[in-house]
Amino acid sequence: MKQPRAWQRMLSGRRLDLLDPTPMDVEIADIAHGLAFVARWNGQTQGDWPYSVAEHSLLVERIFSRLDPGAGPKWQLAALLHDAPEYVIGDMISPVKSAIGPGYGELDQRLTAAIHIRFGLPAALPVRIKKSIKAADRVSAWLEAVRIAGFTEAEADRLFGKPPVTVLNGLQIDLRPPVQVRCEFITRHQQLLAGF
């Protein structure tokens, strides 16, 4: 039996088949726009603006660059795009992803592969890079939990691991209007693409 289509019309005019995405249907403007409007922590953060997945992605890329300074622009771009599928499937907390089962992971992998290929990355990242990005993601989660989501440091340490103090030095969590975050995400994407 043929799988039904699950089309999403993007602001760029592209139509993305969520179940069978192709690199040709992926645009950075759509990703940046979607991620700038998707709230992390289910919106349960302090501040006047939701903390968006776009803002989180920018932070993860900065942390990744600190943890793996020799990685270069190609892998920094992979870090920036680590949650890119969420521009169409949203951000779900880990317990919900687990409850949904393997279907969520498969959908995420198909979208990730299309996005990676569109921007010159391998469909599947090398294991070392994937682990480094995951480590940066955990540091970001710790920082977000403590600074804007109401967790104590002890709670964050237990859930995400205690990050190295040297990595945290000078890192800020900015809560900004979506249009500002979207513009910064696109600019950073362009800078990294130009670097490889």
**Neighbour-count burial of 65, counting CB atoms closer than 10 A to its CB (0-12 exposed, 13-18 middle, 19+ buried):** middle
pLDDT at 2: 60
Rounded to two decimals, the pTM is 0.94
Secondary structure in 3-state letters for the chain = CCCCCCEEECCCCCEEECCCCCHHHCCHHHHHHHHHHCEHHHHCCCCCCCCEHHHHHHHHHHHHHHHCCCCCHHHHHHHHCCCCCHHHHCCCCHHHHHHHCHHHHHHHHHHHHHHHHHCCCCCCCCHHHHHHHHHHHHHHHHHHHHHCCCCCHHHHHHHHCCCCHHHHCCCCCCCCCHHHHHHHHHHHHHHHHHCC
Q: What is the pLDDT of residue 53?
A: 98
Q: Which residues contact 21 (CB under 8 A, 6 or more apart)?
A: 110, 111, 113, 114
Tell me whether residue 91 is exposed, middle or buried, using C-beta atoms within 10 angstroms of its C-beta: 0 to 12, 13 to 18, 19 or more. buried
Q: What is the pLDDT of residue 195?
A: 94
Spans in the chain with pLDDT lower than 50: none
Distance from the Cα of residue 6 to its chain's centroid = 22
